[in-house]
Chains A and B, each alone.
Chain A
Amino acid sequence: MASLELLLIFTLISGVIAYLVGKVHPKTGSILTIIVSGIVFASLAYFGLNEQLLTKVSYLPYISFIQTPLAIFFGVLVSFVFFMVSFFNPYFIDKYTYKAVYSLLYLLSLAGIIGIFFTDNFMTLFFFFELVVWSSLFLIPLGRDEEVSVWYFGFSVFGSFALLSAILLMQSVTGTFDITTGLQAVSGFNRLSVFILLLIAAFAKLGAFPLHYWLPKVLTDSPDPVTSIFSGGLEKLGAFIAVLGLVKLVPTGFFIDVMDMYLTHYILAILGSLTIIGGTVMAIRQDDAKKLLAYSSMSNGGYIIVALSLGSSAGISGGLYHIIAHAIASTAAFLAIGAVARQTNTTKMSELGGMLHKMPITYMVYLIAIISMAGIPPMGGFISKWLIFQGVINKGLILVAAATFFGSIGSFLYVFRPLAALFLGQELPQFKETIKEAPIVMLIPMVILSLLNIVTGVYPTNILAYINTLLVDLNIVQLDITRWTIVGTNGTLNPALIAVMFALGVFIAFIIFISLKKSRKVELMDTYTAANFIYTEELLHYSVDFYAPIERLYEPYIHFMKKFYQALANKVREVGALVKYYIFTSKPEVATFFIMLVIAILLWGDLV
């Protein structure tokens, strides 16, 4: 399907078909989502990367699309994530109350997100933005906690209104809804306003610092496949809008000569750093593996914001590469956790252990994913973090650099924990007999994503070359790359060489492991303290209170944002009560009187 509009119509119609089929047989409906998202991904990747995507067909009036490298970059990535996650759908469909609706909403959000990336008209963008918000809103309550979708809805509405105001402001100033020309034509104070409003929308979608509150909740409590598409796909929508605001819009505001940077961009970098720190700190203290990954997702969103706000080629290419690397890694990690959750019905780290013996492939997938997320070579996350560090250091942003380094080290601390708690350690007695490896269909996407994690870490040249064409489109200096190396200002990176060194190291470690004497395998309950047999083995699970000393350092401060939002809600309620007490009392004439008073005041302006 070489025409984008045809692709969108196809996705929407097959969503309806999947719904109708799902009404009769839910599993078949969910299998349809695999096929459809596969077709969408294949056509976008094949025709898009060869620049043969037809966008001027106009089956739909007033809705126009354009093929830009940026759109293809995001479209291919997100449709790939949707395709990979869709393999999980048939196995999770039995857990939902509304089985047929799930398939419909899944394809609707896919169509919406593709529409957002490829449109060149802001009103169309807003339409598809709302499509994504509403369809994903109803995906969330299929999971554990329905109240979470209220949080998501609140922040999404805030973001939507910011986006709509930005669009209308831009239109009133420039007279056009066209994205590229409009963003370039808007000027002066209006440009600053459009910038701020667009960034509010981006922050609300990406879950970055002041508007982050919904993200961990949603990622924790929605169903496992939905978590994966949120982390890998829908969150990237915010990154896309951030690119629009930070890169496509001509920068504005006070220019700081010393830093070679605009003040607004510096503030964004600081906010991104706060997101990184907050996500990392909160991730360290979680017991639920999914919640831990959720906070890590948040902190990675902070990296994207920091990278994009730098404005240099290293920064922006690092940010775009991080979008890819994090999408792949976090999708893989969440899928692995989802697979464990499906087999054991829990994601609490203190309730699990020894899964390595039962689910070795899932373990490998998770291991590779977290190595990438922590930014350790030879995985994709390392390349992007290296580029981001380069960009930050070149600009000389000490505070931001400290935050990014802190996030990187913090991610060592936290990603290791679920690995140790879930997969390593002793097998728990309740899971000893019943647990098996995940079904083969679920393993397919996980293995593909793991291979991609390695490929993006060892041979990033192709992707970086594509990012370079994208940078040309955005009027930014290209990154200096050769076939095997990336040239930064502070040195040259050779990912393949590093990978070879790592492989060598692993090989040597393996030889040592084989040649040394094996340790004795100890049963979990084979423990005595002061000659007493211990029954409550959960307390001895070594992931319980793992980082208690570190946690104690910042324990009093963690509820800061929660308190802020609660206070905000209370204030709004108080204002409502005040209005109700003075105006909308049990006496209707009082309200009438106030309405008449307002009319009289308005008329007074005409009289004098």
Chain B
Amino acid sequence: MKKILAFIFAITLGVMIILSLSNNELFTDFGDTNHYDGISSGYITSEVGGDEEPALVPVNIVTGILVDYRGFDTLGEVTVLFVSSIGVALLLGVASPKRINLNFKPNFMLSVGSRALFGVMFLTGIYIVLHAKTSPGGSFPGGAMIASSILILYLSNDTFRTDVSKFKLGKSLAASGFVLVGLIGLLFTGEFLANFHPFIMDTILVLIAIDVAGGIVGIIDNFLTEERV
């Protein structure tokens, strides 16, 4: 009975969503958006950033929005990831951590193969981060890919645990560095996170990548630890 009610209610809500969208002036039909009239046109034609040189405008508009036009939002989001990482550490943190015994011993193929895979993934991650201005991807997937590569090494190697803590330090430093870069912009042009030199955007990309990688590695590290008995 309860399930039927829930089903009816959920379906009603879905129908309501679709109906309210179909007859709405504010909301265009599927595939018929008029974003060239809205705020996005400023981002596409780079009018929002002012009279910027073409060299400063990234080819990938999404990266431009994330790092330049809405850099402050991204700072907030990096903070959210940072805080959730801290939250997981608080919830699962134990006094004397030890790796969970995962009931399988990595055999020869796995340990060698994971090392090879680690190199490939790590380099791919770095590539994605560094070429975020001209190709799809960016610091978020790049950072996550670096984190995944480390995770693979982590699974195949029992003694790897101690090195992970260094990554957490990197995460904190990167978050502070983000704010620092923003303040540099404030100092030189009077605008927080101002994009006045190509180097600024690269730095921010690398810092976000380090922060994301550090945050995710921290989360997974906490998931794989337990109290030393």
Which of chain B's residues has its CB closest to A589's CB? B6
- Counting CB contacts under 8 A, is A599 at the interface? yes
- Counting CB contacts under 8 A, is B159 at the interface? no
Are A603 and B190 CB-contacts (below 8 A) given A593-B9, A596-B13? no
CA gap between A501 and B67 in the complex, in Å: 75
Interface stretch, picked from B17-25, B28-36, B167-175, is B17-25
Q: Is the CB of A603 within 8 A of B186?
A: no
CA gap between A348 and B191 in the complex, in Å: 55
Contacts of B190 in A (CB 8 A): 61-62
- Counting CB contacts under 8 A, is B180 at the interface? no
Interface secondary structure of B, over-half rule: helix
Are A600 and B13 CB-contacts (below 8 A) given A61-B190, A62-B190? yes
Which of chain B's residues has its CB closest to A608's CB? B20
| Contact flags B1-27 to A (C-beta < 8 A → 1, else 0) | 000001001101100110110011000
Which of chain B's residues has its CB closest to A605's CB? B20
Q: Is the CB of A596 within 8 A of B9?
A: yes
| Contact flags B170-194 to A (C-beta < 8 A → 1, else 0) | 0000000000000000100011000
Contacts of B19 in A (CB 8 A): 607
**Taking the nearest CB of chain A, how far is it from the CB of B135, in angstroms?**
35
CA gap between A62 and B194 in the complex, in Å: 14
CA gap between A498 and B20 in the complex, in Å: 81
In B175-229, which residues have CB < 8 Å from any A CB?
Answer: 186, 190-191
**Taking the nearest CB of chain A, how far is it from the CB of B91, in angstroms?**
18
**Taking the nearest CB of chain A, how far is it from the CB of B93, in angstroms?**
25
In A565-608, which residues have CB < 8 Å from any B CB?
Answer: 589, 593, 596, 599-600, 603-604, 606-607
CA gap between A604 and B17 in the complex, in Å: 9
Q: Is the CB of B16 within 8 A of A600?
A: yes
Are A604 and B16 CB-contacts (below 8 A) given A61-B186, A61-B190, A62-B190? yes
CA gap between A153 and B24 in the complex, in Å: 46
Which of chain A's residues has its CB closest to B20's CB? A606
**Taking the nearest CB of chain B, how far is it from the CB of A93, in angstroms?**
31
CA gap between A61 and B183 in the complex, in Å: 11
Which of chain A's residues has its CB closest to B12's CB? A600
Contacts of A593 in B (CB 8 A): 9
In A220-236, which residues have CB < 8 Å from any B CB?
Answer: none
**Taking the nearest CB of chain B, how far is it from the CB of A605, in angstroms?**
9
CA gap between A50 and B166 in the complex, in Å: 57
Which of chain A's residues has its CB closest to B189's CB? A61
Contacts of B16 in A (CB 8 A): 600, 603-604, 607
CA gap between A599 and B20 in the complex, in Å: 12
**Taking the nearest CB of chain B, how far is it from the CB of A9, in angstroms?**
13
Which of chain B's residues has its CB closest to A606's CB? B20
Most chain-B Cβ atoms within 10 A of its Cβ — which of A589, A599, A603?
A603
On chain B, the number of residues with a Cβ less than 8 Å from chain A's Cβ atoms is 14
CA gap between A176 and B12 in the complex, in Å: 46
CA gap between A607 and B27 in the complex, in Å: 13
Q: Is the CB of B20 within 8 A of A603?
A: yes
In A104-139, which residues have CB < 8 Å from any B CB?
Answer: none
Contacts of B20 in A (CB 8 A): 603, 606-607
Contacts of A62 in B (CB 8 A): 190
CA gap between A594 and B125 in the complex, in Å: 42
| Contact flags A158-186 to B (C-beta < 8 A → 1, else 0) | 00000000000000000000000000000
Contacts of B23 in A (CB 8 A): 607
Contacts of A589 in B (CB 8 A): 6
In A442-495, which residues have CB < 8 Å from any B CB?
Answer: none
Contacts of A606 in B (CB 8 A): 20, 24
**Taking the nearest CB of chain B, how far is it from the CB of A586, in angstroms?**
16
CA gap between A596 and B7 in the complex, in Å: 13
Contacts of A607 in B (CB 8 A): 16, 19-20, 23
**Taking the nearest CB of chain A, how far is it from the CB of B37, in angstroms?**
21
Which of chain A's residues has its CB closest to B6's CB? A589
CA gap between A30 and B190 in the complex, in Å: 35
Which of chain A's residues has its CB closest to B5's CB? A593
Which of chain A's residues has its CB closest to B187's CB? A61
CA gap between A604 and B13 in the complex, in Å: 10
**Taking the nearest CB of chain B, how far is it from the CB of A31, in angstroms?**
31
CA gap between A395 and B125 in the complex, in Å: 77
CA gap between A34 and B16 in the complex, in Å: 68
CA gap between A258 and B143 in the complex, in Å: 73
CA gap between A11 and B12 in the complex, in Å: 62
Q: Is the CB of A603 within 8 A of B9?
A: no
CA gap between A606 and B20 in the complex, in Å: 6
**Taking the nearest CB of chain B, how far is it from the CB of A598, in angstroms?**
11
Which of chain B's residues has its CB closest to A592's CB? B6
**Taking the nearest CB of chain A, how far is it from the CB of B127, in angstroms?**
37
* Of the residues B6, B10, B17, contact of A603 by C-beta under 8 Å: B17
Contacts of B12 in A (CB 8 A): 600
CA gap between A593 and B2 in the complex, in Å: 12
Q: Is the CB of A599 within 8 A of B13?
A: yes
In A45-98, which residues have CB < 8 Å from any B CB?
Answer: 61-62
**Taking the nearest CB of chain B, how far is it from the CB of A64, in angstroms?**
12
Contacts of A61 in B (CB 8 A): 186, 190-191
CA gap between A392 and B133 in the complex, in Å: 70
CA gap between A61 and B9 in the complex, in Å: 54
CA gap between A606 and B26 in the complex, in Å: 10
CA gap between A242 and B9 in the complex, in Å: 54
Contacts of B191 in A (CB 8 A): 61
CA gap between A607 and B18 in the complex, in Å: 10
Most chain-A Cβ atoms within 10 A of its Cβ — which of B12, B16, B24, B191?
B16
**Taking the nearest CB of chain B, how far is it from the CB of A6, in angstroms?**
16
**Taking the nearest CB of chain A, how far is it from the CB of B44, in angstroms?**
28
CA gap between A596 and B19 in the complex, in Å: 16
CA gap between A593 and B24 in the complex, in Å: 25
**Taking the nearest CB of chain A, how far is it from the CB of B113, in angstroms?**
42
CA gap between A545 and B109 in the complex, in Å: 89
**Taking the nearest CB of chain B, how far is it from the CB of A593, in angstroms?**
7
**Taking the nearest CB of chain B, how far is it from the CB of A111, in angstroms?**
18
Contacts of B9 in A (CB 8 A): 593, 596
Contacts of B10 in A (CB 8 A): 596
CA gap between A604 and B190 in the complex, in Å: 45
Most chain-A Cβ atoms within 10 A of its Cβ — which of B20, B23, B186, B191?
B20
CA gap between A457 and B24 in the complex, in Å: 73
Which of chain B's residues has its CB closest to A604's CB? B16
CA gap between A353 and B24 in the complex, in Å: 81
| Contact flags B70-98 to A (C-beta < 8 A → 1, else 0) | 00000000000000000000000000000
Beyond A589-B6, A603-B20, list 12 extra A-B contacts (CB 8 Å).
Answer: A61-B186, A61-B191, A593-B9, A596-B10, A600-B12, A600-B13, A600-B16, A606-B20, A607-B16, A607-B19, A607-B20, A607-B23
> 24 interchain pairs (CB within 8 A)?
A61-B186, A61-B190, A61-B191, A62-B190, A589-B6, A593-B9, A596-B9, A596-B10, A596-B13, A599-B13, A600-B12, A600-B13, A600-B16, A603-B13, A603-B16, A603-B17, A603-B20, A604-B16, A606-B20, A606-B24, A607-B16, A607-B19, A607-B20, A607-B23
Binding site for A on B (CB under 8 A): 6, 9-10, 12-13, 16-17, 19-20, 23-24, 186, 190-191
Binding site for B on A (CB under 8 A): 61-62, 589, 593, 596, 599-600, 603-604, 606-607
- Shortest 5 CB-CB distances between A and B: which pairs? A61-B190, A606-B20, A603-B16, A603-B20, A607-B20
